[in-house]
């Protein structure tokens, strides 16, 4: 039996058409923000959120007032989550060290890890206010030592979302804005009369936010392409259909275009999971959203072997990959393209999304083939330097450099080396010639 698709979502051609429509819309909106600045941002905020306060930036008193609306229990839970995320981010930061080595006598090479100087953190808040995204972006940037962190989230019911504001403030944001969607990321990246542009954009978002980040990349840095969430369950008959269906729908509820995929070598589990999804969609409060995602973007793939399951999973390179098999560690050792792995039936993607400590801003649309997710290292730039401390080293390296530059025809480059050979090595190298 070959790899068999028991259920497939929209064909790739239809998904590409959807992407093209988003791309054109985003391009037009970003051009408007660049041209009209604050006026465009205000028009967009009115159009999409019905929210146009005197200033989109919250004052200290407005931040405090919002935080006062958060219950004690919710504040304690936010604090617990931030402790886990901060602890892991600090451990990651400690793994990144500056180095300096003497590669030859008198020749020193090194690198320094320097924080990006300003970051704009986008926190989604449309259908669901993503409080956890503030931890993942703002707090992680703070651990990295970013000196200017601005954060933005859309209004919820016509006002700043109290828990999001609390998470931003507790995470270390220096400026907090109540702006959503393309107008938020566009204003942070391009700048306006009242918002100083940042050097880097981070954070997840819907298809429009992800496309805006893609189009702005180059003007600013970005963390990665973090578009509509994707989830994959790799399972065998060591688990049951209820567990698989729950984990698939738990992520499908994110939006109307959130891919969810089951890969299994058990026909019994595949059929039972399809039936269980139908049952759960009748009682899930967010079924209106999850059912559309499952209908249009859901897949069930039946494989002959674990090797085939691995191949399919690596080829699809999904954002979240839940592994529930009799050989989870084998998948951990063999998987190479994904956002994050969730190993065993005891863990789940929601833990990673909200509290366990790893970052939930992860690559989608196969970006896991070339990048991992957001982490403290994304906010650090590794810059190299070199130092030569002796005349002998300057002359020796200069001679090699001279000849290698002339090999490529770069005479001006060669003269940079030659002048050092003459001054520090006492050798008479003819102008425009290779050093001996």
- What string of DSSP letters covers 143-156? HHT-SEEEEEE--B
CB 23 within 8 A of CB 162: no
- The C-alpha atoms of residue 12 and residue 57 are separated, in whole angstroms, by 40
Summarised one tens digit per residue, pLDDT across range 230-263 is: 999 999 999 999 999 999 999 999 888 899 999 9
> Residue 352 above 60 pLDDT?
yes
pLDDT band at 10 (very low <50, low <70, confident <90, very high): confident
- The C-alpha atoms of residue 33 and residue 182 are separated, in whole angstroms, by 9
Summarised one tens digit per residue, pLDDT across range 32-65 is: 999 999 999 999 999 999 999 999 999 999 999 9
DSSP 220: B
288-309 burial: b if 16+ Cβ within 10 Å, else e: ebbbbbbebbbbbbbbeebebb
**What average pLDDT does the segment 21-37 reach?**
95
Angle, to 10 degrees, between the axis of helix 207-216 and the axis of helix 181-190?
20
Helix, strand, coil percentages (3-state) for the chain, rounded to 5, are 50, 20, 35
Summarised one tens digit per residue, pLDDT across range 194-208 is: 999 999 999 988 889
- The C-alpha atoms of residue 436 and residue 419 are separated, in whole angstroms, by 13
Quick one: 80 exposed, middle or buried, by C-beta within 10 A (0-12, 13-18, 19+)? exposed
**What average pLDDT does the segment 335-363 reach?**
96
CB 338 within 8 A of CB 199: no
Q: Is 319 assigned a catalytic role?
A: yes
DSSP 429: P
Q: Is 436 assigned a catalytic role?
A: no
Class of domain 19-223: alpha beta
CB 259 within 8 A of CB 9: yes
User: In CATH terms, is domain 228-373 a member of 3.40.50.1980?
Assistant: yes
Q: How many CA atoms lie within 13 A of 178 on its CB side?
A: 27
CB 360 within 8 A of CB 136: yes
Q: Give 28-35's long-range contacts (Cβ < 8 A, gap of 24+).
A: 29/182, 29/183, 29/186, 29/212, 30/182, 30/186, 30/190, 30/212, 30/215, 30/216, 33/182, 33/183, 33/186, 33/187, 33/190, 33/192, 34/186, 34/190
DSSP 57: B
> Residue 283 above 70 pLDDT?
yes
CB 398 within 8 A of CB 418: yes
CB 323 within 8 A of CB 277: no
The answer to whether domain 19-223 and domain 228-373 are alike in fold is yes
CA angle 255, 256, 257 (to 5 degrees): 95
Q: According to the model, what pLDDT value does residue 2 have?
A: 76
CB 217 within 8 A of CB 304: no
Catalytic option among 175, 211, 319, 415: 319
Domains of the chain, by residue range, sit at 19-223, 228-373, 391-435
pLDDT band at 174 (very low <50, low <70, confident <90, very high): very high
> Please, which residues bridge with residue 383 across strands?
112
* Helix, coil or strand: residue 247: helix
pTM, entire model? 0.91
- The C-alpha atoms of residue 194 and residue 398 are separated, in whole angstroms, by 50
pLDDT band at 1 (very low <50, low <70, confident <90, very high): low
Q: Tell me how far CA of residue 334 lies from CA of 160, 244, 302, 310, 387, in angstroms.
A: 44, 22, 19, 8, 41
Catalytic option among 135, 161, 254, 320: 320
Q: According to the model, what pLDDT value does residue 188 have?
A: 98
Summarised one tens digit per residue, pLDDT across range 73-87 is: 999 999 999 999 999
CA angle 304, 310, 311 (to 5 degrees): 85
135: nearest Cα among 182, 95, 88, 191: 88
């Amino acid at each position: 039996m070959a790899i068999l698709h028991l259920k497939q979502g929209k064909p790739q051609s239809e998904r590409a058409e959807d992407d093209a429509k988003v791309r054109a819309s985003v391009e037009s909106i970003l051009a408007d923000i660049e041209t009209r600045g604050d006026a465009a941002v205000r028009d967009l905020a009115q159009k999409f959120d019905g929210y146009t306060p005197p200033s989109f930036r919250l004052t200290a008193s407005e931040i405090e007032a919002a935080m006062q609306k958060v219950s004690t229990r919710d504040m304690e839970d936010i604090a617990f989550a931030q402790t886990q995320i901060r602890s892991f981010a600090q451990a990651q930061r400690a793994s990144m060290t500056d180095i300096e080595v003497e590669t030859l006598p008198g020749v020193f090479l090194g690198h320094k890890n320097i924080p990006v100087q300003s970051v704009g953190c986008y926190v989604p808040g449309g259908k669901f206010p993503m409080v956890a995204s503030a931890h993942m972006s703002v707090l992680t940037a703070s651990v990295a030592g970013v000196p200017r962190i601005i954060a933005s989230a859309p209004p919820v019911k016509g006002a700043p979302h109290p828990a999001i504001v609390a998470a931003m403030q507790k995470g270390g944001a220096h400026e907090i804005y109540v702006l959503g969607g393309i107008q938020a990321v566009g204003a942070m990246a391009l700048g306006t009369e009242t918002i100083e542009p940042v050097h880097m954009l981070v954070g997840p978002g819907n298809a429009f936010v992800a496309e805006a980040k893609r189009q702005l990349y180059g003007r600013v840095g970005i963390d990665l392409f973090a578009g509509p969430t994707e989830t994959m369950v790799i399972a065998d008959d060591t688990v049951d259909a209820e567990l698989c269906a729950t984990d698939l729908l738990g992520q499908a509820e994110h939006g109307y275009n959130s891919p969810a995929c089951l890969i299994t070598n058990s026909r019994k589990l595949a059929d039972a999971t399809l039936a269980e999804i139908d049952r759960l969609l009748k009682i899930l409060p967010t079924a209106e959203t999850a059912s559309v995602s499952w209908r249009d973007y859901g897949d069930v793939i039946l494989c002959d072997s674990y090797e085939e399951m691995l191949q399919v999973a690596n080829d699809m390179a999904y954002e979240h990959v839940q592994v529930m098999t009799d050989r989870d560690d084998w998948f951990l050792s063999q998987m190479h393209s994904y956002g994050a792995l969730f190993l065993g039936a005891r863990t789940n993607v929601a833990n990673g999304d909200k509290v366990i400590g790893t970052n939930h801003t992860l690559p989608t649309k196969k970006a896991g083939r070339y990048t991992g997710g957001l982490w403290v290292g994304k906010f650090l730039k590794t810059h190299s330097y070199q130092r030569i401390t002796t005349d002998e080293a300057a002359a020796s390296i200069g001679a090699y450099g001279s000849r290698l530059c002339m090999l490529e025809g770069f005479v001006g480059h060669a003269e940079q080396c030659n002048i050092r050979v003459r001054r520090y090595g006492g050798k008479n190298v003819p102008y425009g010639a290779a050093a001996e």
